[in-house]
Amino acid sequence: MRFGTALKWSTATATVKIFTKFPEAVDVIGHEMTHGVTQNASALIYQGEPGALNEHLSDVFGSLIKQRLKGQDAASASWLIGESVIIAPDPLQAGQVCRGVRDLLHPGTAYVNLAFGSDPQPDCYANLNKDPADNFGVHINSGIPNRAFAMYAIAIGGNAWDIAGKVWYQAATASGLPAKATFSQFRATTLATAQAMASTTVPALIAAWNAVGVM
């Protein structure tokens, strides 16, 4: 599932509404606005790993906007994107999960066994989705760096936008990140940025990237 899909799911017997209005969710608004920043500051191509990084940056800053608005620190944040726009089945059946559109901290768990399927995001590089659909998984594979960012922010503690968010913004916009950047290249860029901005957090960042298998 991705932002911009149809708001209804058709079956053989009925048409079921699955989303409310996306603009009602501040994290979704922040996600879409961040695409404009990425397009102008990073120019990441919208395919494969650089495309997944493009989506990842929008997820991160959409989440940070919501966290700041709600006064949530990294430990108390839900790390869900679009939790207010997805409509849960009523009643929710056994084996079904409906928490949001994406879960940055636990990719692949935002929704399970709904009419349109289950959250397909992997949480580690070993499970990278290589299907040519969705521009080789730009929305699916963003879960890998999403988890790395969330783990880094939680390990640091405090507000995710204070250090982790600034490291990510600097790495994405002022580092000369190539348009075809891979996850490994982005890892290296974030490590160099963290070393310059907040060197004491580098071990936590290394651990986060290692945890998702990006070397």
* Alpha carbon distances (Å) from 157 to 80, 90, 123, 152, 195: 18, 37, 21, 9, 17
Known catalytic residue at 139 = yes
Q: What are phi and psi of 19, to 5 degrees?
A: -130, 150
Q: Pairing between strand 80-81 and 8-10?
A: unpaired
- Active-site residue, from 24, 32, 49, 56: 32
- Active-site residue, from 31, 56, 106, 139: 139
Known catalytic residue at 31 = no
DSSP assignment string, 47-102? SHHHHHHHHHHHHHHHHHHHHHHHT--TTT---EESTTTBPPPSSPPTT-EES-SE
Residues 122, 143: Cα–Cα separation, whole Å: 6
Question: If 0-12 CB within 10 Å is exposed, 13-18 middle and 19+ buried, where does residue 14 land?
Answer: exposed
User: Cis bond leading into 107, ω under 30°?
Assistant: no
Q: Pairing between strand 15-17 and 8-10?
A: antiparallel
- Catalytic site positions: 32, 139
